[in-house]
Structure 1
């Protein structure tokens, strides 16, 4: 429509300029009016295009944020499970660290918690949607700057910090397991209880494996940040 108006006005300007029926003042007046029509038509066209583009961008943002909310709810459930596992591991390795010298670990306690010795807990998370939206350069489309910053902080700072702390823990736990397997004979019987009560194992338990307060703190911080983001998304889209 705007192109048609511009074409019509351009033709009228040309015709007016070529006309011999009117004086110069009349021609200037007519040409000025047509130029004003062209400017108005182009301005309206640009404004409509910008509005349409912004509307499309915000539809993409809404789709992304509602999807992220689902991802975060799933991640919260995973993190809460991980958090409980680390709290239990802290208790278990704390028990091993405090075994009195000359005594061996209680067989039943070790048997009940034996899985903590050799399994690994770490956050996997649903980052695909976020990474795709970020790599397409669309994060800046989120008009709520506070929400945008919260999302960036979570994925670019909080999650990497959590993963760094759990990776260090897993590395120490691998060394722990390797030491046990190198020195235990006839697992799970044999000298297993004696070895798990030995000074090297107690020291590792005390220094690395029971000292998981930082990891617990990182999980707690991430869960709070995710809940904060979900609350803000709910505020943006009340349903």
Structure 2
């Protein structure tokens, strides 16, 4: 529509300029009117285009945030289970680290804690939606600056910090497993209770305790921020009942 108005007004300006029957002052008034129409039509077209583009951007933001909410709810469930697992690992290594000097490990206690000595727990990460939105340059479309910053902080700071801590823990736990394997004879009836009470195992266990505390803290920091993000998303886009 704007293009049509511009074309019509442009044609009229040309015709007016060529009209020899009209006075100069009359031509100027008519041409000024047509120029005004052109300016208005172009401005209206730009405004409509900007509005349409902004509306499309916010639709994309809405879809993204609804999807992120789903991801975060799933992540919080998984993270809470991970926290439970790490708390059990904390108990297991606390037991090893506090075996009295000169005593061997208790066989029943080793059986009880065995699942936590060698298994690995880490954040799998539902980050694909966020990474895709970020790589397309659309994070800036989120108009709520606090929400945008909170999402960036979660995915760019807190989750990477959690991943680093769990990766380090996994590396150290592999070394722990290697030591047990290299020094155990005639398993399970051999010297396993003595090896598990040895100074190297006790020392490593004390180190694991501090690492586990840090990991649990990183998990809790992530889940708290996830709750806040979900709360803000629900306030801006209330879930349909």
Query: Please, which moves more after superposition, 192-201 or 37-46?
Result: 192-201
RMSD, aligned α-carbons: 0.9
Using the TM superposition, give the Cα deviation of residue 189 of structure 1 relative to its aligned residue in structure 2, in angstroms: 2.7
> 1:172 is matched with which residue?
172
Alignment: residue pair count:
239
SS at match of 1:167: helix
Using the TM superposition, give the Cα deviation of residue 186 of structure 1 relative to its aligned residue in structure 2, in angstroms: 2.4
C-alpha contact 1:90 1:211 (8 A) present in aligned 2: no
C-alpha contact 1:176 1:201 (8 A) present in aligned 2: yes
Q: Deviations over 1:21-53 (max 9, x none)?
A: 210001000000000000000000000001111
Q: Deviations over 1:168-218 (max 9, x none)?
A: 111111100000000111223311111101111011101234542111110
C-alpha contact 2:180 2:196 (8 A) present in aligned 1: yes
User: Closer, same or farther in 2 for the Cα pair 1:19/1:124, shift >3 Å?
Assistant: same
* CA distance in 1 between partners of 2:196 and 2:209 (Å): 13
User: Normalization by structure 2: what TM-score?
Assistant: 0.97
C-alpha contact 1:93 1:210 (8 A) present in aligned 2: no
User: Does residue 119 in structure 1 map to residue 119 in structure 2?
Assistant: yes
User: Closer, same or farther in 2 for the Cα pair 1:220/1:121, shift >3 Å?
Assistant: same
Using the TM superposition, give the Cα deviation of residue 236 of structure 1 relative to its aligned residue in structure 2, in angstroms: 1.1
User: Closer, same or farther in 2 for the Cα pair 1:211/1:158, shift >3 Å?
Assistant: closer
In structure 2, list runs of 5 or more residues that go unmatched.
none
* CA distance in 2 between partners of 1:187 and 1:130 (Å): 47
> 2:157 is matched with which residue?
157
* CA distance in 2 between partners of 1:197 and 1:189 (Å): 15
Which ranges of 4 or more aligned residues in structure 1 deviate by more than 4 Å?
A: none
* CA distance in 1 between partners of 2:204 and 2:154 (Å): 31
* CA distance in 1 between partners of 2:211 and 2:22 (Å): 94
Using the TM superposition, give the Cα deviation of residue 137 of structure 1 relative to its aligned residue in structure 2, in angstroms: 0.5
Aligned ranges for residues 131-210 of structure 1 at < 5 Å? 131-209=131-209
Query: Please, which moves more after superposition, 122-131 or 188-197?
Result: 188-197
> 1:234 is matched with which residue?
234
SS at match of 1:113: helix
* CA distance in 2 between partners of 1:23 and 1:153 (Å): 68
> 1:75 is matched with which residue?
75
SS at match of 1:100: coil
In structure 1, list runs of 5 or more residues that go unmatched.
none
* CA distance in 2 between partners of 1:153 and 1:188 (Å): 48
C-alpha contact 2:93 2:208 (8 A) present in aligned 1: no
* CA distance in 1 between partners of 2:115 and 2:209 (Å): 14
SS at match of 2:99: coil
* CA distance in 2 between partners of 1:28 and 1:125 (Å): 68
User: Closer, same or farther in 2 for the Cα pair 1:140/1:211, shift >3 Å?
Assistant: closer
